[in-house]
Amino acid sequence: VNGPYVSNEGDVWIERGDAPWPRIQRAARMILDEMGYDEPGYPMRYEGIEQGVRVSDNNEADGVHAEETGCDCCRTVVAHHFRAEDPL
């Protein structure tokens, strides 16, 4: 799968592609666990397909540049958006 791309707030985006749906969900869950959302009470919510997601192949949360910068490290993609649900 392409991605996952993450935010600091528990968001995960995985680029829409050829990967089977269970594999996409597994990849999203795995990266959330790695980010520390593996405690019980952090269920993963699927937010749906999102258009125009700006991502960086550097996979750094703060490594995403605006489209206007015209850099080589970022792209705009269509992606599945997952989110670790805040138990509070």
Alpha-carbon dihedral of residues 28, 32, 35, 40, nearest 10 degrees? -170
Q: Is there a contact between 28 and 15 (Cβ–Cβ < 8 Å)? A: no
**Nearer CB in complex with Zn ion: 65/81:** 65
**From the CB of 57, what's the least distance to Zn ion, in Å?**
9
Find the binding residues for Zn ion in span 58-87 (CB under 5 A). 65, 71, 73-74
Contact letters for Zn ion, residues 8-27 (x by CB under 5 A) = --------------------
Q: Is there a contact between 12 and 32 (Cβ–Cβ < 8 Å)? A: yes
Record the tokens describing residue 49, joined without a space: 């397909």
Chain residues binding Zn ion by CB under 5 A are 65, 71, 73-74
